[in-house]
């Protein structure tokens, strides 16, 4: 026969987690319908990339959302957490392209249709991976409502939004420089470009003045672009150069002549004060070119593939841009046109997907005119209709939104939402949610759809309402929009959060969510960002296997609010596994002591002070935990639960209960309180550690369980507190710790029973202590205790002065008198220091007259207590000293 689960010495998560997750799924407990009449509460998951594997960020993100949703569900809300994945255009396409590259093919050989089929096939094989991983974390998402950004419904939402914005003039097409990734062969939005500081070279090139007299020196970090220069700009206010404006340069390595122009944006102090202008390959230069009248022409010398074009001239055409750079510099050197080269640190844009250096390239692209949308989104946050938590992020949000530039939404890839625009040979453009049969202008059926797809974030921006069924009306939509909270990391605040707010306001007429909770980034132990290339990634699934999802979740929650970063270390998870084990063993103890024994029928059967106390403490903890969760202070909530379970419930109450259980009359009440407090802490902890709490909760007697799962049990709140019991227990606790301190410091053997005198300051305390002598004896290892007010101190005793009482432990023969004197001396110095600090304040006229009355009163009370303590310690020391001297003399 195997040991029953509940009696094993330690908690083993593996099989138990699977068991309960299946149970929850089977019972449909993740659906909002379990609380049909509750107030709706809804969170949409930040959809992870369908190509993704669960990483630490997902794990933290999912944990926090699950804590919120489980908590709200237990509070009776109609709670809905909508899961799903994102089609992740570029990332997914890259993954599948790599796969087919192994077959020595590329997507063009396959053709668009076949390639798309391959991606869908890949998605059906691997796309469920991250969903499966979320389940391992215990996520209570309603999987029946799972969505994918390329679902038919979501695609319709995307087309609908596109058409509407187009019709309003908020989507337009334009040819201008955009960020181009020469490896992914697509345009990128400004946000998708990562700037990194790099060491480069600033090359000073002599540009000969036409007509053969002298030259102008320009500085550049990209010498190869000189082949596409169409001008040189100087500041018109620059006396060195102003009279050159209007003259021409013989552009080296080409046979072109280019003008010297004036532009106020040129910094006179930087470089030589003269700048080459390459409108086709530099955003600034494009601006300068446009400002000229007539505008400077564009010469594109670098193509979409990052190689030099025919316009670069026969010597350079076809070269990679970096090879060309070397050759151009070499050629210029031969011509004696390089003045100097110096090291230069500057920041360079890289593709956020493949890290290739971005090339500005002029191509036709679709844009969203963003300013009108941003204006409303700024207002929503300013007016508090969307709260960003922590508040500090609002600044970043405003800063970005106020300087926002039009959003390039077209991508030259195949995987994604095809742009719903068709072109006719007659020149007509058709924009429609459905594929048009013929051209409305000429009737031709030869319509060609725009080959590009939309930025993935375009569809993600619609997520809070597209997942609820929009553009169809649905019950979910009227119940759950606006959603309640959005939980995410700051790195997609602009990419995603801001755009959702814009689209929600535009298409739903209301914000997409009330609260945005921005959580930390998970870093490694050294504080480095986890990345595959650094090899410092910790796989959350391995942590779950090793320590269980509960310990892992609790760790993440407990460290969630420590500022922006969480430094993750396995040691911490190990620590919280100990916590779970503590809970497990407390439950085991309670089960052993309640099974087949009388349990009081409710709270009225509870008569003993410790039981009243723990129930009151439970009420207090519940209140604080609820308050913390209301404010997204996950760490405070988790730590309060930790403190309650370990310090108050296990260290104090269970130990006290061992005595209470020996009292035949009180025992049923103690048993009820043990179960009641355990039930309470299980419920409080359930959102953080769903599995172990369910496992234990299911073993509680039926009267403590009002439903089939702890998931739908009522979350403790609004429980009555019992100030009288708390005050009474303080006295008991002081008596016990007072004795323990002495034992500990004087190294009394744990087995040795000591005789104790307790001198209480009030009759009330005397009564309380007297009534609880069995508890004190047991927990403090005392064999006899004499209690009274104004007790005469014994001749030879160690003393400990507390705030409600003082404790004497006669130390006849037991103790080194000298050591005890040292200990008391230290105590005395501490007390005196505090007292003099206190007195100094009270003697200060300014303090007494200007500080608030209650602060002064507090200081006065404190000084009285310290005075008392001081004289008590001095008395004890004097007694010991006389003994000491007797011994010396005798």
- How far apart, in whole angstroms, are the C-alpha atoms of residue 260 and residue 231? 6
**Segment 358-417, which members bind RNA (CB under 7 A)?**
392, 395-396, 399-400, 403
Phi, psi of 222 (to 5 degrees): -130, 75
Residue 226 within binding range of RNA, rule CB under 7 A: no
Taking residue 146's Cβ as centre, other Cβ atoms within 10 Å add up to 17
Kindly tell me which residue out of 51, 140, 186, 220 binds RNA, with binding defined by CB under 7 A: 220
Q: Which range touches RNA (CB under 7 A), out of 413-421, 511-519, 649-657, 704-712?
A: 649-657
**Smallest separation, CB 862 to RNA (Å):** 9
Looking at the Cβ atoms of 35 and 203, the one nearer to RNA is 203
Residue 592 within binding range of RNA, rule CB under 7 A: yes
**Smallest separation, CB 525 to RNA (Å):** 8
Residue 679 within binding range of RNA, rule CB under 7 A: no
Residue 658 within binding range of RNA, rule CB under 7 A: yes
**Segment 747-786, which members bind RNA (CB under 7 A)?**
747, 749-750
- How far apart, in whole angstroms, are the C-alpha atoms of residue 681 and residue 622? 8
Q: Which range touches RNA (CB under 7 A), out of 365-373, 441-449, 584-592, 782-790?
A: 584-592
Size of the site for RNA (CB under 7 A): 86
Nearest-CA neighbor of 516 among 536, 541, 497? 497
Residue 588 within binding range of RNA, rule CB under 7 A: yes
Residue 855 within binding range of RNA, rule CB under 7 A: yes
Encoded tokens for 50:
């369908």
Residue 222 within binding range of RNA, rule CB under 7 A: yes
Residue 686 within binding range of RNA, rule CB under 7 A: no
- How far apart, in whole angstroms, are the C-alpha atoms of residue 204 and residue 187? 31
Encoded tokens for 557:
């929650």
Contact call for residues 452 and 416 (beta carbons, < 8 A): no
Taking residue 587's Cβ as centre, other Cβ atoms within 10 Å add up to 24
Encoded tokens for 332:
């210029």
Nearest-CA neighbor of 366 among 437, 418, 305? 418
**Smallest separation, CB 490 to RNA (Å):** 7
**Smallest separation, CB 35 to RNA (Å):** 31
**Smallest separation, CB 55 to RNA (Å):** 16
**Smallest separation, CB 261 to RNA (Å):** 13
**Segment 811-840, which members bind RNA (CB under 7 A)?**
837
**Smallest separation, CB 651 to RNA (Å):** 4
Q: What's the DSSP call for residue 308?
A: B
**Segment 687-746, which members bind RNA (CB under 7 A)?**
737, 740-741, 743-745
- How far apart, in whole angstroms, are the C-alpha atoms of residue 570 and residue 585? 23
**Segment 438-497, which members bind RNA (CB under 7 A)?**
491, 494
Task: Give me the numbers of helices (H) and strands (E) for the chain, helices first please.
Answer: 29, 29
Binding mask 538-567 for RNA (x = CB under 7 A): ---------------------x-xxxxx-x
- How far apart, in whole angstroms, are the C-alpha atoms of residue 53 and residue 130? 5
The maximal CA–CA distance of the chain, rounded, in angstroms, is 126
**Segment 252-271, which members bind RNA (CB under 7 A)?**
265-271
User: Which regions of 222-337 does DSSP assign to beta strands (E)?
Assistant: 231-234, 248-250, 257-262, 274-277
Kindly tell me which residue out of 132, 340, 850, 864 binds RNA, with binding defined by CB under 7 A: 850
Looking at the Cβ atoms of 127 and 279, the one nearer to RNA is 279
Kindly tell me which residue out of 116, 191, 408, 431 binds RNA, with binding defined by CB under 7 A: 191
Residue 321 within binding range of RNA, rule CB under 7 A: no
Kindly tell me which residue out of 38, 575, 620, 774 binds RNA, with binding defined by CB under 7 A: 575
Q: Which bin fits 84, alpha (ψ -120 to 50), beta or left (φ > 0)?
A: left
283's CB contacts (< 8 A; 6+ apart) are 177, 360
Measured on CA atoms in the order 692, 693, 698, 699, is the torsion positive or negative?
positive
Distance between start and end Cα atoms, the chain: 70
Encoded tokens for 153:
């419904």
- How far apart, in whole angstroms, are the C-alpha atoms of residue 716 and residue 721? 13
Residue 9 within binding range of RNA, rule CB under 7 A: yes
- How far apart, in whole angstroms, are the C-alpha atoms of residue 453 and residue 150? 12
Kindly tell me which residue out of 571, 596, 706, 888 binds RNA, with binding defined by CB under 7 A: 571
Contact call for residues 566 and 60 (beta carbons, < 8 A): yes
Kindly tell me which residue out of 229, 282, 455, 624 binds RNA, with binding defined by CB under 7 A: 282
Pairing state between β 513-519 and 483-489:
parallel
**Smallest separation, CB 284 to RNA (Å):** 4
Residue 534 within binding range of RNA, rule CB under 7 A: no
Residue 636 within binding range of RNA, rule CB under 7 A: yes
**Smallest separation, CB 251 to RNA (Å):** 15
**Smallest separation, CB 5 to RNA (Å):** 14
Residue 844 within binding range of RNA, rule CB under 7 A: yes
Q: Which range touches RNA (CB under 7 A), out of 326-334, 406-414, 575-583, 764-772?
A: 575-583
């Amino acid at each position: 026969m195997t040991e029953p689960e509940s009696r094993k010495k330690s908690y083993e998560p593996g099989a138990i987690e699977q068991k309960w997750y299946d149970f929850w799924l089977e019972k449909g407990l993740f659906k909002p319908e379990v609380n049909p009449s509750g107030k709706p509460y809804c969170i949409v998951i930040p959809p992870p990339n369908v190509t993704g594997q669960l990483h630490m960020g997902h794990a933290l993100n999912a944990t926090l959302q699950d804590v919120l949703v489980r908590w709200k569900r237990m509070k009776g809300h109609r709670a809905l957490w909508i899961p799903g994945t994102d089609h992740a255009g570029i990332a997914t396409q890259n993954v599948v392209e790599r796969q087919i590259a192994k077959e020595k093919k590329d997507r063009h050989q396959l053709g668009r249709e076949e390639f798309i089929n391959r991606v869908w096939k890949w998605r059906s094989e691997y796309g469920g991976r991250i969903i499966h991983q979320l389940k391992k974390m215990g996520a209570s998402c309603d999987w029946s409502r799972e969505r994918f950004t390329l679902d038919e419904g979501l695609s319709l939402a995307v087309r609908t939004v596109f058409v509407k914005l187009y019709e309003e003039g908020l989507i337009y097409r334009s040819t201008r420089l955009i960020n181009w990734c020469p490896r992914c062969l697509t345009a990128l939005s400004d946000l998708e470009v990562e700037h990194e500081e790099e060491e480069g070279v600033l090359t000073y090139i002599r540009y000969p003045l036409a007509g053969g007299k002298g030259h102008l020196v320009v500085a550049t970090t990209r010498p190869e672009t000189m082949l596409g220069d169409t001008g040189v700009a100087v500041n018109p206010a620059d006396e060195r150069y102003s009279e050159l404006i209007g003259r021409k340069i013989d552009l080296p390595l080409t046979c072109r002549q280019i003008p010297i122009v004036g532009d106020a944006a040129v910094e006179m102090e930087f470089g030589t004060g003269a700048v080459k202008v390459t409108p086709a390959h530099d955003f600034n230069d494009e601006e300068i070119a446009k400002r000229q009248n007539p505008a400077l022409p564009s010469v594109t010398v670098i193509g979409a593939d990052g190689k030099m074009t025919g316009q670069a001239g026969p010597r350079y055409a076809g070269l990679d841009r970096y090879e060309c750079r070397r050759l151009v510099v070499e050629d210029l050197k031969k011509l004696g046109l390089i003045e100097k080269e110096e090291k230069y640190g500057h920041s360079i844009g890289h593709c956020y997907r493949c890290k290739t250096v971005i090339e500005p390239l002029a191509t036709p692209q679709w844009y969203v005119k963003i300013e009108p949308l941003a204006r409303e989104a700024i207002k929503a946050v300013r007016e508090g209709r969307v709260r960003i938590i922590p508040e500090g992020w609002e600044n970043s949000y405003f800063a970005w939104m106020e300087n926002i530039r039009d959003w390039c939404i077209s991508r030259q890839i195949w995987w994604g939402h095809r742009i719903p625009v068709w072109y006719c040979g007659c020149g007509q453009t058709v924009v429609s949610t459905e594929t048009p049969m013929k051209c409305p202008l000429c009737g031709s059926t030869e319509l060609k759809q725009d080959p590009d797809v939309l930025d993935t974030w375009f569809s993600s921006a619609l997520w809070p309402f597209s997942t609820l069924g929009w553009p169809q009306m649905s019950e979910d939509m009227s119940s759950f929009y606006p959603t309640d909270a959005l939980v995410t990391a700051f790195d997609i605040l602009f990419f995603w959060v801001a755009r959702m707010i814009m689209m929600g306001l535009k298409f739903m007429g209301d914000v997409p969510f009330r609260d945005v909770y921005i959580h930390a980034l998970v870093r490694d132990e050294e504080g480095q960002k986890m990345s595959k290339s650094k090899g410092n990634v910790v796989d959350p699934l391995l942590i779950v296997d090793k320590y269980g999802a509960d310990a892992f979740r609790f760790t993440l929650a407990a460290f969630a609010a420590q500022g922006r970063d969480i430094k993750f270390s396995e040691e911490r998870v190990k620590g919280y596994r100990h916590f779970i084990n503590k809970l497990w063993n407390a439950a085991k103890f309670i089960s052993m002591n309640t099974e087949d024994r009388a349990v009081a029928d409710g709270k009225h059967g509870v008569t003993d002070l410790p039981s009243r106390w723990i129930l009151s403490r439970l009420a207090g903890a519940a209140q604080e935990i609820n308050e913390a969760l209301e404010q997204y202070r996950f760490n405070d909530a988790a730590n309060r639960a930790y403190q309650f379970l370990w310090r108050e419930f296990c260290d104090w109450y269970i130990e006290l209960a061992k005595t209470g259980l020996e009292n035949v009359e009180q025992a049923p009440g103690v048993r009820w309180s043990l179960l009641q407090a355990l039930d309470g802490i299980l419920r409080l902890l359930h959102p953080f550690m769903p599995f172990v709490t369910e496992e234990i909760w299911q073993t509680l007697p039926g009267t403590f369980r009002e439903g089939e799962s702890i998931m739908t049990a009522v979350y403790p709140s609004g429980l009555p507190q019992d100030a009288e019991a708390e005050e009474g227990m303080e006295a008991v606790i002081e008596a016990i710790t007072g004795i323990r301190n002495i034992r500990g410091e004087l190294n009394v053997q744990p087995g040795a029973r000591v005789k104790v005198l307790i001198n209480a300051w009030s009759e009330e305390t005397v009564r309380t202590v007297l009534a609880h002598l069995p508890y004190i004896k047991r927990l403090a290892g005392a064999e006899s205790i004499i209690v009274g007010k104004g007790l005469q101190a014994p001749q030879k005793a160690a003393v400990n002065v507390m705030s409600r009482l003082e404790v004497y432990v006669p130390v006849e023969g037991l103790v080194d008198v000298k050591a005890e004197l040292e200990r008391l001396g230290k105590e005395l110095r501490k007390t005196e220091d505090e007292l003099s600090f206190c007195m100094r304040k009270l003697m200060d006229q300014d303090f007494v007259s200007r500080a608030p009355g209650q602060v002064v009163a507090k200081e006065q009370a404190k000084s009285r207590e310290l005075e008392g303590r001081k004289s008590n310690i001095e008395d004890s020391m004097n007694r010991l000293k006389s003994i000491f001297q007797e011994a010396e003399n005798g």
